[in-house]
Amino acid sequence: MVETTTLANTKEPVVKSFFDSETSTITHVIYEEAGSECAIVDSVMEFNPKSGKLTTNSADQVIDFVRSQDLKTQWLLETHAHADHISAAPYLREHLGGLIGIGEDIKKVQHVFKKVFNLEERFNADGEQFDYLFSADEIFYIGNLKVRAMHVPGHTPADMAYVVEDRMAFVGDTLFMPDVGTARCDFPGGDAHILYQSVQKLFSMPGETRLFLCHDYPPEGRGPVWETTVEEQRKHNIQINESISEADFVNKRTARDATLEMPTLILPSIQINIQAGKLPEAEDNGTKYLKIPINAL
């Protein structure tokens, strides 16, 4: 447990969300009221794979909002090590403070990708790069807001959903909007059987529980949306609802994954995100470089 408190929160947590159109990622700011502590979930640093240029447009919007509300940044939370965008957590920590937190099974992800990228000996696959590692069902607080770190592996071994005041959950890639489905399970360490069981944890919460997503890939005809409910997911998710068995889900998920290409930004994103968003050290010419392994994924 990170810290304890006896204060009972009676207010609905406030959520401000920011949609990044380049990566279809949603960053969420969670807080109680203006002037209170906050957490920032799944931040984005824009990366142009053609030029190698990094920009901070999305993160700067978050910074401006946090400052406008006089919020005190307590946590910079990652639901997992993202394969489709680079985390802005270190940049946000530099400007706003806060601790970078992720699930403790990030160590399993680091172990796999340390080999893929042939990272140097000084890279330790023990999670030390993050400020805090959450264990399954650990309780912590955002100011007075009680949060449970729910372990929901399957997309990756380290996925966490952050359940705030038992009223809302920030589920990362585990679920998408009901008309889109679920996360893929074909990355190293992914498992469709395990993802099915993780979703059942979410489905066991009250139907009115609000679910906030990390991504939305809307079908033609609607704009991006990132909030749904447990009940909507149980009834209408096209890949995993209360009428779909584990075997059916695994068969359909596996078949679907076989048709998917790797995300455009997986190689730059993973090697940075397993290091808590820290960029490589500059070489003797003052330039930072990323590795691109050949035929490794």
Tell me: the pLDDT tens digits for 136-152?
999 999 999 999 999 99
Q: CA-CA distance, 130 to 233, in Å (whole number)?
A: 32
What percent helix, strand, coil does the chain show, rounded to 5? 25, 25, 55
Tokens found for residue 297 = 């994924």
**pLDDT tens per residue, the chain (297 residues)?**
444 343 445 678 999 999 999 999 999 999 999 999 999 999 999 999 999 999 999 999 999 999 999 999 999 999 999 999 999 999 999 999 999 999 999 999 999 999 999 998 889 999 999 999 999 999 999 999 999 999 999 999 999 999 999 999 999 999 999 999 999 999 989 999 999 999 999 999 999 999 999 999 988 888 999 999 999 999 999 999 999 999 999 999 999 999 999 999 999 999 999 999 999 999 999 999 999 999 877
CA 184 vs CA 195, 196, 239: distances in Å: 9, 11, 11
pLDDT digits (tens, 9 = 90+) for 21-61: 999 999 999 999 999 999 999 999 999 999 999 999 999 99
Tokens found for residue 180 = 């889109």
Handedness of CA 56, 59, 62, 63 (dihedral sign): negative
CB burial of residue 169 (10 Å; 0-12, 13-18, 19+): buried
Q: CA-CA distance, 287 to 283, in Å (whole number)?
A: 6
Q: CA-CA distance, 153 to 196, in Å (whole number)?
A: 9
Kindly report whether the global pTM for this prediction surpasses the value 0.85. yes
Q: Give the residues across from 253 on adjacent strands.
A: none
CA 275 vs CA 56, 218, 268: distances in Å: 18, 30, 12
pLDDT, residue 9, reads 55
Nearest to 62 by CA among 104, 101, 103, 94: 94
Strand order in the sheet with 37-41: 14-20, 25-31, 37-41, 72-77, 99-103, 132-134
Amino acid making up residue 56 = T
Q: Could you tell me the residue ranges of all domains in the chain?
A: 14-273
Nearest to 199 by CA among 257, 160, 152, 138: 152
pLDDT, residue 4, reads 39
The strand ranges marked E within the chain are 14-20, 25-31, 37-41, 46-48, 53-55, 72-77, 99-103, 132-134, 138-142, 145-151, 160-164, 168-170, 210-212, 227-229
Contact predicate 56/45, CB 8 Å: yes
Contact predicate 73/40, CB 8 Å: yes
Top CATH class, 14-273: alpha beta
pLDDT, residue 50, reads 92
Tokens found for residue 7 = 């204060």
Amino acid making up residue 86 = I
